[in-house]
Amino acid sequence: MSTTASPAHWSRHLAPGTSPDDVDLTGEGSLPAAWSARWRAAPSSRVLRDRDGTWATGAELLETTATVAGRLFAVGARPGDRVLISGVASNALVSAHCAALRAGLVVVPVNPAASRRELESVIEDARPAVAVVGPEQLAGWAAEIDPELVVTPPEVPLADGPVPDLDAAAATDPGLLMYTSGTTGTPKGAELSHRNLLAGAHSVRIAWGWTPEDQLILCLPLCHVHGLGIGLHGALLSGGSALLFERFEPETVLDATEHGATMFFGVPTMYERLAGAPGLVRLGALRLCVSGSAPLPADLHRRIELGSGQVVLERYGMTETLLLVSNPLRGERRPGTVGFPLPGVDLRLDEETGEILVAGPSVFSGYRGLPEVNEVVFSDGWFRTGDIGEVDDGYLRIVGRAKELIITGGYNVYPREVEDVLRAFPLVRDAAVVGTPSSEWGETVTAFVEAPEALDIDALCAYARDELAPYKRPRVVYRVEELPRNLLGKVVKERLAPPEENPDEHPG
């Protein structure tokens, strides 16, 4: 099956009467230049609320980011140099991030929960000039890994220096060097230009009707595209504001809905906790709730809607591309789908495999220092996402990862379809399906289900027999207390393994 996204597809995200030709995603040159323009135009506007309730205004951000840029310049950082940034969300961390981009430096976000091995891998590849690091353990490791590296906390309490030229980066200059999550292999550094970042933030601003009146509840970590490249960058570009939180707690989110907040971005595990929280009905007060980074089960989508009236908007994107596809702000939001291509995104499916191929101003130009890999992942200007999709009535559905395809007895099985069936069964909180080696079948469809001991696996297997063709049915089922996940709640299938003592292993 082949389909190519035309302006007719992504014009579904535009206001009535707006032509795709009227949309300019990159005209402001760079994100920091656009932010500075917003802050100058509304110097007294409240932009960021810190964890302690302190607000930073546009004027304060202009001053603070200029000061921090001067300090980074004083220790030798120059345009094009990398600055590693890691820590929990705070006004200081955001100011350091914005200062680095304003100074033409390349930000390298790192998970504050990273191991020493992971940190060492990033430092060896990125060769940063400065590390702005919150966690003391990471700061100590960074100093040991590279004794010449300037290491400073998020407040950047270094000596002041002359303020360099600000907001002068060219559209094609790199802005972020983001390392892939590594759930499908060794992390690679994806270089995102200022043009990519600006186009990506503008596309969601337009599609989601993001305005200066919006206030985003931001509980997501600022080391991934979801929280940083969309949440923070979008809030600053829209001229709106963001409430920063160190971690997600259901009560925190629900309380914020009663104090001016209008938007919340989360991952499925957050929505699962919200669905079970007292006072879920308060979520209905928000203008928009968005889910991403992992599939949102259709049953959970319905539970949120029934409990609060909130119809969660699901979307799809990648580190390498920022956001690509979204259910509509206006119109039907279909559970189990990710919607239509965002403004500026061209999308098609490979005729033979169904792999999703994309192009557009938000798509990166390649991985740092990996020309051989870049030749493989780009095809005639289209980036091969590695995800398999299906299109129905214009809505895109993610079927699974090409690398996760299970071939059993000569048949192709996409794990997502089997996982969706298992998740629909009572007591199953989540499911992960993989192929395990089999001398008879080539691969065996093997399921790991996250569920309490009360789960009736015989009944689950009977249910799967009714819902799936014989070759798709799990032949082995393991019950686990918890599936292994990364920081954003995405299941890391490489870490799936049968429990050492597993009375719940079951031939399906």
pLDDT (tens digit per residue) in 472-507: 999 999 999 999 988 777 888 888 888 765 545 555
Instruction: Assess whether pLDDT exceeds 90 at residue 26.
Output: yes
Domain count, the chain: 3
Residues 380 and 410 in one domain: no
For residues 277 and 109, give the distance between their C-alpha atoms in angstroms, rounded to a whole number. 32
CATH code (residue 183): 3.40.50.12780
Q: For 382-417, what is each residue's pLDDT tens digit?
A: 999 999 999 988 899 998 877 888 888 777 788 888
For residues 30 and 195, give the distance between their C-alpha atoms in angstroms, rounded to a whole number. 6
CATH code (residue 237): 3.40.50.980
Residues 48 and 106 in one domain: yes
**The two three-digit tokens of residue 344, written as one number:** 């500026």
Question: What pLDDT sits at residue 506?
Answer: 59
Residues 68 and 203 in one domain: yes
Domain boundary among 265, 286, 307: 286
Residues 150 and 240 in one domain: no
For residues 340 and 364, give the distance between their C-alpha atoms in angstroms, rounded to a whole number. 20
Residues 244 and 381 in one domain: no
For residues 92 and 30, give the distance between their C-alpha atoms in angstroms, rounded to a whole number. 22
Which letter, b or e, does each residue of 76-114 get, where b requires 16 or more Cβ atoms within 10 Å of its Cβ?
Answer: ebeeebbbbbbbbbbbbbbbbbbbbbbbbbbbbbbbbeb
Residues 185 and 224 in one domain: no
Which of 261, 305, 315 has the alpha carbon at shortest distance from 286?
A: 261
Report the share of the chain in percent with pLDDT over 70: 95
Residues 206 and 216 in one domain: no
Domain membership of residue 416 as a residue range: 405-507
Report yes or no on 1 lying in a domain: no
Asked if 289 and 208 touch (Cβ cutoff 8 Å), the reply is no
Report yes or no on 116 lying in a domain: yes
Residues 359 and 481 in one domain: no
Instruction: Assess whether pLDDT exceeds 50 at residue 49.
Output: yes
Report yes or no on 185 lying in a domain: yes
Asked if 477 and 449 touch (Cβ cutoff 8 Å), the reply is yes
Asked if 37 and 28 touch (Cβ cutoff 8 Å), the reply is yes
Q: How many residues does the chain have?
A: 508
Domain boundary among 241, 258, 286: 286
Residues 223 and 192 in one domain: no
Residues 373 and 468 in one domain: no
For residues 242 and 46, give the distance between their C-alpha atoms in angstroms, rounded to a whole number. 9
Instruction: Indicate the pLDDT class of residue 1, thresholds 50, 70 and 90.
Output: very low
Report yes or no on 2 lying in a domain: no
Instruction: Assess whether pLDDT exceeds 60 at residue 357.
Output: yes
Burial, 142: exposed, middle or buried (Cβ in 10 Å; 0-12, 13-18, 19+)?
buried
Handedness of CA 225, 228, 229, 235 (dihedral sign): positive
CATH code (residue 469): 3.30.300.30
Q: What is the DSSP letter of 220?
A: S
Which letter, b or e, does each residue of 335-345 get, where b requires 16 or more Cβ atoms within 10 Å of its Cβ?
Answer: bbbbbbbbbbb
- SS3 of 63, please? helix
For residues 65 and 97, give the distance between their C-alpha atoms in angstroms, rounded to a whole number. 9
Domain boundary among 358, 379, 398: 398
Per-residue pLDDT, averaged over 6-26, amounts to 77
Report yes or no on 235 lying in a domain: yes
From residue 155, give the alpha-carbon distance in Å to each of 62, 78, 227, 369: 15, 19, 20, 32
Dihedral, 167, 172, 175, 177 alpha carbons, nearest 10:
-170
Asked if 265 and 216 touch (Cβ cutoff 8 Å), the reply is yes
Residues 271 and 348 in one domain: no
- Which residues are CB-neighbours of 172 under 8 A, at least 6 positions away? 193, 194, 195
Q: Which residues pair with 411 in a beta bridge?
A: 408
Q: For 215-252, what is each residue's pLDDT tens digit?
A: 999 999 999 999 999 999 999 999 999 999 999 999 99
Which of 32, 134, 142 has the alpha carbon at shortest distance from 91?
A: 134
Of the spans 4-13, 59-68, 264-273, 428-437, which averages the highest pLDDT? 59-68
Q: For 420-456, what is each residue's pLDDT tens digit?
A: 899 999 999 999 999 998 877 878 999 999 999 999 9
Question: What pLDDT sits at residue 183?
Answer: 43
Q: What is the DSSP letter of 367?
A: B
Residues 333 and 479 in one domain: no
Question: What pLDDT sits at residue 503?
Answer: 45
Report yes or no on 81 lying in a domain: yes
Distance of CA 166 to the CA centre of its chain: 28
Report yes or no on 220 lying in a domain: yes
Report yes or no on 272 lying in a domain: yes
From residue 213, give the alpha-carbon distance in Å to each of 226, 239, 326, 384: 21, 8, 22, 37
Per-residue pLDDT, averaged over 329-350, amounts to 93
